[in-house]
Amino acid sequence: MKIRRLGNLEVSAIGMGCMGFTHAYGTCPDEKEGIRLVHKAFELGCNFFDTAEMYSYFENEEFVGKALKELPRQQVIISDKFWPEKLSGHTFEEDKLSETGIRKTLEGQLRRLQTDYIDLYTEHQMREGNEEEVAYVMGKLIKEGKIRAWGQSSPNVEQIRKAHAVTPITAIQSEYSMMARQWEKDVLPLCEELCIGFVAFSPMANGFLSGKYTAQTEFKGDDLRTVISRFDKENMQRNQPLLDLINRYANEKHCTPAQISLAWDMMAYDELVPISGMRREERVIENLGAADVELTTNEYRALTAELDKLTVYGDRNGLNKLVSVPESTKDQGEVYKK
């Protein structure tokens, strides 16, 4: 497995997003099978595992803690995120982003993860106006050894600059794929300017770019794709030219569409690391194998030029509405808690 750097962290070129082991994409593997798949990813060279307290309301962190405790702690990089507002189950009175609130949140996360430090600690979604205060607390936690590095999720340029000036940010975590390129205009160039890494979640657009789903696919229950507009039947049909383009490159490179999608992501920035959900062994092998699929500079430029000509229909805005409004925390739980 190739290695990339996120600040002072050396991580596998492709990481494992662990959210899907406890919710989000329909029926989950049982705990024993999920742990086996995490260990399989580690055997194949993946050392970067991502979770969040929001995922299944703390249950995903508990799963990750169980899955990683049998692996050498110094050989795995744990990426965890804290939600800026209180979740059901938080009992402290302090503001969530106050120093006391952050410390109490972190204590719970360390307990669930069964570790005494988190490698990459990220504010999950951004609350306006607290950037410098949060960055100051992150600096104290780094000095104390409770976290090794910190980051922001889906910030704008101003939020990055404010926080980075107080305590240097190691990585930004945001959606990035052939269907979600909004960060190319300003955030990615700023990351390069400030030597900040970029962790790309949903690098295959929630699985759309794998080509494994059609307009006839039914998504049910707590599957987030029921509210993500790119999976509307009409949009799936209208986005077929994008899949045709990816398939053409996959055939030429003798790999899968998923691997082309991940390889394209990694060409965008030397310090970009995609994290992909993988809930079956064949997906673990396929997705991590994308690290060995190389697009030449000319191939990348040609593919990107063709992408520029296409119109992308749909996005993840339906999901954004469910997870970004603090007042609807209880409703968010209906999606995240399964």
Contact 21, 34 (CB under 8 A): yes
Angle at the Cα of 209 from the Cα atoms of 34 and 308, rounded to 5 degrees: 145
The number of residues in the chain equals 338
DSSP helix/strand/coil, 201: strand
Angle at the Cα of 333 from the Cα atoms of 328 and 334, rounded to 5 degrees: 105
Burial of 145 (0-12, 13-18, 19+ CB in 10 A): exposed
Q: How far is CA 297 from the centre of its chain?
A: 25
Angle at the Cα of 47 from the Cα atoms of 156 and 43, rounded to 5 degrees: 150
Q: What's the one-letter identity of residue 67?
A: A
In this structure, the dihedral spanned by the alpha carbons of residues 147, 319, 198 and 248, taken in order and rounded to 10 degrees, is 140
Burial of 29 (0-12, 13-18, 19+ CB in 10 A): middle
| Tokens (6 digits) for 202 | 């949903």
* Annotation marks residue 55 as catalytic: yes
Selecting among 55, 57, 176, 269, the annotated active-site residue is 55
Q: What residues pair up with 17 in beta bridges, in sequence order?
A: 50, 277
Q: What is each CA distance from 241 to 15, 182, 196, 268, in whole angstroms?
A: 28, 20, 34, 22
Contact 247, 210 (CB under 8 A): no
E strands, the chain, in order: 3-6, 9-12, 15-17, 48-50, 77-82, 118-123, 147-153, 171-175, 197-201, 272-277
Residues with catalytic function:
55
